[in-house]
A and B are shown apart, each in its own frame.
Chain A
Amino acid sequence: MASWPSSPTLLGKSTRRLDGPAKASGRATYAYDIRRPGMLYARIVRSPHAHARVRAVNVSAAEKAPGVRAVLPLVDVSQPDAAKAMYQGDEVVAIAADTEEQAHDAARLVTVDYEVLPHLATVEQAMRPEAPAVFPKGNVTQGSLEEEGDLAAGFAAAAHVVEGTYSTQVQTHSCLETHGCVAEWEGDRLTAWVSTQAVHATANGVATALGVPQTNVRIITEYMGGGFGSKLGPDFEVVVASKLARQAGKPVKLMLDRKEEQLGTGNRPSAYAKVRAGVDAQGKFVAFDAETWGTGGAGQGAGFPLPYPVYVWTSRRRRHRDVYINAGPQRAMRAPGHPQGSFITEVVIDELADKLGMDPLELRLKNLPPEEPNRMWGKYFQMAAARIGWSRRHKTGDPAPGPIKRGLGCAANRWGGGGSQQTRGHAEIHPDGSALIRIGTQDIGTGTRTVLALIVAETYGLPLGAVKVEIGDSRYPFAPGSGGSVTIGSVSPVARIAAEQALGQLVAKVAPSIGADPLALAAKDGRIFVKDDPSTGVTWKEACTLLGTTPIVVDSQWEKGLSSVGTSGVQFADVEVDVETGVTRVKKIVCVQDTGLIVDKLTAESQCYGGITMGIGFALYEHRILDRNTARMVNPNMEWYLLPGPSDIPEIDITLVDQPERGVVGLGEPPTISTAAAIANAVANAIGARVRDLPVTPAHVLAALDRQREGGTL
C-alpha cells in the first residue's frame, strides 16, 4: 500500500484547501465566534502576584453587580497550603455575566486578600544556594545524567576544543485565537465549542473533571485559530466555563484576553548549556560534554535533546537540571526541545569548524550517520548548499568594507512523527453517489480536512469536491490530538483503508452487473470500469444506484502502511547584519525537507513557510521578558512581545523531497527546528563574532562584537 497511488490524479499536486473560501470570507466560525441564545460572558480574576497565598476572597459586591449570573471560586482558601498563586495570572475566581462589559466590571469588584510570598523571577535567582524554597520538591531538580562513550578518551583525541555557555529564551505560543470555549448544557449533557487541538482528549479530560460520563460530553472544533502545542488540552477554561454554565443554567463563553494568553497558556521553556566539545584533527566529533538547565516556569521541566541527535559524537556526557521559577508553566510548543537543542549544537559545530579552519558544511558532512530514507541530511545539505550558493561563503567575518556584513549559515533537523494506531475512521457511500469520510480529528490550520478529502477522492477516482469531510467533533471516531506532527500519519491510513473497503463493496455490486471480475475493476475519472477494457463500465452515480436504498458504511482502524516515522531536513540562512546598529536582516532561507508521500503540495509548503516564519521569530525577536524584581511579565501583549511581521520575512526557498514510497510524513514541526540555528550561524559568519544567546537582538550582536574586540569569542 505504501506505493499507493501508482499514478495519482490528485495526490502530490498543489490543491487549494477546501475551507479556504470559508476562511477568506469570514464565514468560518471559530469557538471565539460562537454565539448561543442567552449566552453569558465569563472573566477570570487572576493573581497579580508571582507567588502569593490567597487568604480570603470577597465576591459579595461582584455577586450583586448588574448582570452577574454565576461566580465560581477557583481556589479553596480553607486549604492554606494549596490556596496559592504560583505565577502572575494564576486563576482565583471566575464570573459570568450577561455582557462582556458587565463581567469585566464585576471582576473588578472582587477583592482578594493576598499574602505575598517570596518568588523566583529568574533561573539565576532560583539556583542561588540561599534562594527561598518556593517549590515543595525544591527549586532545582536533582538532574539526570546521560553518558555514552569514553569522554576522557574523546577529549584526549581532540585537536581543538570549544567551550562556551549558550542560551535560548522563553517563547510563547501566541496563538491568534486565544484559549477558550463556549459551554452549553442541555439537561445533563454538555456541548462545548472549544479552540482545541484535541477534541477527544478534551472530552475525556472535561468529563473527568466535571464528574459526568464522557458519553454526555461533546466537544466541537470546526475551526480553530492556532495552537502550536498549547491547546492539546483538556484546557482549564473548558472546565471553568462548563461549571459556570451549569451554575447559571445558561451557555457561557470564556475566551481569554491577550494578556491572559501570554501569561498562562504555555510557552517554550528556556535552555542553557555550558558546553565543552572537541573535534580531532581530521574533523571527527570526538567529545561533547554539557551541563544544562532551563525553566519551564512554575513546577515544569525544560528538557531538550543535546547534543542535537543528528551528528555522531564518539563520546558524550550531559547533565540536565530543571529549574522552577514563578512564571507561567510551559506546554508543548512546536517541536518541543528541538529548536533549543539544534541552536546550541549547531553553533558549537560552527565554532569547532572555525577552530579547525574547515568549512562548516564539510565538517557536518563528515559527522553524519549513514543515509537512510528518513535521515538524508548529507544529500539535503548538498541540495540546499547549491540553492543558497554556499560556494560564495567567506570565512567567518565578512571582509567587505562598511557596516553591512553578509553571512551564510546552516543547520539540520529531524523529527519522529508517525501515526497513532488508536485512530479510527468512518466512510459512507450513498445511493445518490455522495461520499463521506468522518474522523474525530481536527484541522488546526494544517489542512487536515483537505488531506482527507484528497485521499478518499483519489481512492474513489472522484473530484475533490465529491467527498464530504466531517471532522472536529468528539462524537466522531477516535483520533489523537494534533500534536507531534502525527495527524496526517494517523488519519491518512485510516481514511485510505475506509475508502478502499467502501469502494470494494461498491465494486462488488458493479462487477456482476457488467459481468466482470471485481478484481479487474478500477475507479477513476468518475467511473468504475474494467482496467483492461475501460469502455466496459459504469459511472460512479450509476454504480451507486445499484445500492438500492442501503448506503455502504465502513468503520476502519489504523494500520501500518500509508505513513512512516521519522523525517529529516536542513535549512540555510543568508543574512545581513549592520555592525553599527546590531540589526540583523534575514535575506533568504533555503529549506530542504523530506515530505514522504506528498498529499497536497500547497499545504505542505505552507507548513514550511509557517515553521520558518516562527523560527525567524525565535531567532531574532520573540522573548518573554519577566521583571527580575516582581516576576511579572513585561510584555504580555503583541506590541512588545515581538512577533515577526510581513516586513521581517525574507525570500523563502522550499524544496519538498517527495518520497512516495515512504507514505505520509507529518510536517508541522520539523521546519521550525533549524531556522534559528542557521540564522545564528549566518550572523556569526557575517560579523566575525559569536552570538551564543537567542534571540539575536541588536543588543546581543553589539555585545558579541564588544567581546570579540576585547579578546575574542571565536
Chain B
Amino acid sequence: MAPKDDFGFSRRDFLKTVGVGGIAAGVAGPPEAGAQTAAVGPGAVPITLTINGKAHRLEVEPRVTLLDAMRNRLNMTGAKRVCDRGACGACTVIVDGRTIYACSALAIEMQGKNIRTVEGLSEGTVLHPVQQAFCEHDALMCGFCTPGFVTATVALLERNPNPTAEEARKALDGNICRCGTYSRVLEAALSAKGVKRG
C-alpha cells in the first residue's frame, strides 16, 4: 500500500517544518545545548522550562520528552499523548513562535525556550479568540484532539491572520481528529478574529 505521501497532498508533506526541527533537536541537540547535555544522564537531572511565561524547575531523565515532562511532572495535561511519535498533532505546543510536537522533543533540549501551551491561551475564564471560535463552530467533539488543533490554529493565525482555506488546511495537516471535526475546525480557523501577529 502506498504511503499517503505519494498522493502529493498529504498532511505529512506539511508536517510543521519546526516539528521536524524539534525532532532533530531532540535527537542531535542544537549546537549551544550540545555542550551542556553531553555528559548528563541517564539519571534525572535538574532542568528549567519556561512554559507560558513561567519558569518551572523539575528533575527529569534526559530521555523524557517535553510532553511527558509537562503531563507527568508538571500536571499540565492540556497537550495530549496520542501517537507519541509525531504523527497526530495532539501534543502540539508553540516553541519560540513555531509549532512543534511535544512528544518528539526532549524536555532537556527545551530549556531557555519560550514554550506556550493550550493552558496559556485563555485568561481566567476568558477564552482566546481561537478557542471561542472552536466552541461557536462546534469544532470539537470528544475534544481529545482539540488542544492540539487550537494551538496549531493560534500559531497559524499569529503568523498569518487572514489565511486562505488552503493555507489553513495545510497548516493543520499535521493534526488528526478521529471524531471528524475537520470541516468545522476549518470554519473556526477562518472565522477567528482578533489574533495578533505573534
Can you name 6 A-B residue pairings with CB atoms under 8 Å? A17-B140, A225-B142, A446-B141, A609-B180, A645-B175, A699-B2
* In contact, A176 and B88 (Cβ under 8 angstroms): yes
Q: Which residue of B lies closest to A25 (CB)?
A: B122
Q: Cβ of A614: which chain B residues have Cβ within 8 Å of it? A: 178, 180
Least CB distance, B133 to chain A, in whole angstroms: 9
Give the complex CA separation of A583 and B8 in angstroms: 9
A603 is contacted by which of B7, B8, B79, B138 (Cβ under 8 Å)?
B138
Q: Cβ of A99: which chain B residues have Cβ within 8 Å of it? A: 72
Give the complex CA separation of A390 and B23 in angstroms: 48
Q: Is A28 an interface position by the 8 A CB rule?
A: yes
Q: Which residues of A, 65-103, contact B by the 8 Å Cβ criterion?
A: 99-101
* In contact, A177 and B10 (Cβ under 8 angstroms): no
> Contacts A176-B142, A609-B184 hold; do A643 and B178 have CB atoms under 8 A apart?
yes
How many residues of chain B get a CB closer than 8 Å to chain A's CBs? 70
Chain A 1-44 interface 0/1 with B at a Cβ cutoff of 8 Å (1 = within): 00000000000000011011111111111101101000001000
* In contact, A226 and B178 (Cβ under 8 angstroms): yes
Q: Is B75 an interface position by the 8 A CB rule?
A: yes
Give the complex CA separation of A100 and B103 in angstroms: 14
Kindly list 9 other residue pairs between chains A and B, CB separation below 8 angstroms, not including A35-B77, A623-B1: A25-B119, A26-B117, A101-B64, A176-B179, A603-B138, A609-B184, A637-B87, A638-B83, A639-B12
Chain A 208-237 interface 0/1 with B at a Cβ cutoff of 8 Å (1 = within): 000000000000000111101000000000
* In contact, A20 and B173 (Cβ under 8 angstroms): no
Q: Is A402 an interface position by the 8 A CB rule?
A: no
Q: Which residue of A lies closest to B79 (CB)?
A: A26
The segment out of A393-401, A432-440, A468-476, A646-654 that lies at the interface is A646-654
Q: Cβ of B179: which chain A residues have Cβ within 8 Å of it? A: 176, 226, 445, 606, 610
Q: Which residue of B lies closest to A604 (CB)?
A: B138
Q: Is B158 an interface position by the 8 A CB rule?
A: no
Q: Cβ of A625: which chain B residues have Cβ within 8 Å of it? A: 1
> Contacts A33-B77, A176-B88 hold; do A606 and B141 have CB atoms under 8 A apart?
yes
Chain B 139-160 interface 0/1 with A at a Cβ cutoff of 8 Å (1 = within): 0111111110010000000000
* In contact, B11 and A646 (Cβ under 8 angstroms): yes
Q: Which residue of B lies closest to A226 (CB)?
A: B142
Q: Is B111 an interface position by the 8 A CB rule?
A: no
Q: Which residue of B lies closest to A613 (CB)?
A: B180
Q: Which residue of A lies closest to B13 (CB)?
A: A647
* In contact, A645 and B173 (Cβ under 8 angstroms): yes
Least CB distance, B40 to chain A, in whole angstroms: 15
* In contact, B87 and A639 (Cβ under 8 angstroms): yes
Least CB distance, A232 to chain B, in whole angstroms: 15
* In contact, B144 and A26 (Cβ under 8 angstroms): no
Secondary structure type dominating chain B contacts: loop
Secondary structure type dominating chain A contacts: loop
Give the complex CA separation of A348 and B11 in angstroms: 33
Q: Cβ of A27: which chain B residues have Cβ within 8 Å of it? A: 78, 119
Q: Which residues of A, 444-480, contact B by the 8 Å Cβ criterion?
A: 444-447
Q: Is A505 an interface position by the 8 A CB rule?
A: no
Q: Is A258 an interface position by the 8 A CB rule?
A: yes
* In contact, A646 and B173 (Cβ under 8 angstroms): yes
* In contact, A225 and B143 (Cβ under 8 angstroms): yes
Give the complex CA separation of A444 and B176 in angstroms: 17
* In contact, B140 and A29 (Cβ under 8 angstroms): no
Least CB distance, A227 to chain B, in whole angstroms: 8
Interface residue ranges, A against B (CB under 8 Å): 16-17, 19-30, 32-33, 35, 41, 99-101, 173-178, 223-226, 228, 255, 257-258, 444-447, 581, 583, 585, 602-603, 605-606, 609-614, 621, 623, 625, 637-640, 642-649, 652, 697-699
Least CB distance, B119 to chain A, in whole angstroms: 5
Give the complex CA separation of A606 and B9 in angstroms: 25
Q: Cβ of A255: which chain B residues have Cβ within 8 Å of it? A: 81
Q: Is B55 an interface position by the 8 A CB rule?
A: no
Q: Cβ of B140: which chain A residues have Cβ within 8 Å of it? A: 17, 20, 23-24
A645 is contacted by which of B11, B71, B131, B144 (Cβ under 8 Å)?
B11
Q: Which residue of B lies closest to A616 (CB)?
A: B180
Give the complex CA separation of A11 and B122 in angstroms: 30
Q: Is B98 an interface position by the 8 A CB rule?
A: no
Q: Cβ of B147: which chain A residues have Cβ within 8 Å of it? A: 23-24, 26
Q: Cβ of B186: which chain A residues have Cβ within 8 Å of it? A: 646, 649
Q: Cβ of B3: which chain A residues have Cβ within 8 Å of it? A: 640, 642
* In contact, B144 and A30 (Cβ under 8 angstroms): yes
Q: Which of A19, A35, A642 has the most CB of B within 10 A?
A: A642
* In contact, B135 and A24 (Cβ under 8 angstroms): yes
B180 is contacted by which of A41, A611, A640 (Cβ under 8 Å)?
A611
Q: Cβ of B193: which chain A residues have Cβ within 8 Å of it? A: none
> Contacts A24-B146, A176-B90, A226-B178 hold; do A258 and B83 have CB atoms under 8 A apart?
yes
Give the complex CA separation of A654 and B186 in angstroms: 16
* In contact, B134 and A20 (Cβ under 8 angstroms): yes
Q: Is B109 an interface position by the 8 A CB rule?
A: no
Interface residue ranges, B against A (CB under 8 Å): 1-4, 6-12, 14, 61, 63-64, 68, 71-72, 75, 77-88, 90, 117-119, 121-122, 125, 127, 131-132, 134-136, 138, 140-147, 150, 169-170, 172-173, 175-186
* In contact, A637 and B85 (Cβ under 8 angstroms): yes
Give the complex CA separation of A226 and B144 in angstroms: 8
Give the complex CA separation of A24 and B151 in angstroms: 10
Q: Cβ of B132: which chain A residues have Cβ within 8 Å of it? A: 24
Q: Cβ of B83: which chain A residues have Cβ within 8 Å of it? A: 258, 637-639
* In contact, B176 and A638 (Cβ under 8 angstroms): yes
* In contact, A639 and B85 (Cβ under 8 angstroms): yes
A609 is contacted by which of B118, B119, B135, B181 (Cβ under 8 Å)?
B181
Give the complex CA separation of A652 and B8 in angstroms: 22
Give the complex CA separation of A610 and B125 in angstroms: 28
Q: Which residue of B lies closest to A584 (CB)?
A: B7
Give the complex CA separation of A29 and B77 in angstroms: 8
Q: Cβ of B4: which chain A residues have Cβ within 8 Å of it? A: 621, 642
* In contact, B90 and A609 (Cβ under 8 angstroms): no
Give the complex CA separation of A448 and B60 in angstroms: 40
* In contact, A176 and B80 (Cβ under 8 angstroms): yes
Least CB distance, B56 to chain A, in whole angstroms: 16
* In contact, A606 and B80 (Cβ under 8 angstroms): no
Give the complex CA separation of A224 and B179 in angstroms: 12
Q: Which residue of B lies closest to A614 (CB)?
A: B180
* In contact, B75 and A24 (Cβ under 8 angstroms): no
* In contact, A25 and B11 (Cβ under 8 angstroms): no
* In contact, B131 and A176 (Cβ under 8 angstroms): no
Q: Cβ of B131: which chain A residues have Cβ within 8 Å of it? A: 21, 24-25
A647 is contacted by which of B119, B127, B173, B185 (Cβ under 8 Å)?
B173
Give the complex CA separation of A625 and B1 in angstroms: 9
Give the complex CA separation of A32 and B143 in angstroms: 13
Least CB distance, B65 to chain A, in whole angstroms: 10
Give the complex CA separation of A568 and B186 in angstroms: 28
A176 is contacted by which of B14, B68, B145 (Cβ under 8 Å)?
B145
Give the complex CA separation of A494 and B88 in angstroms: 38
Give the complex CA separation of A652 and B185 in angstroms: 13
Least CB distance, A277 to chain B, in whole angstroms: 29
Give the complex CA separation of A581 and B10 in angstroms: 15
Q: Cβ of A648: which chain B residues have Cβ within 8 Å of it? A: 11
Give the complex CA separation of A35 and B186 in angstroms: 33
B6 is contacted by which of A175, A612, A646, A698 (Cβ under 8 Å)?
A698
Q: Which residue of A lies closest to B73 (CB)?
A: A99
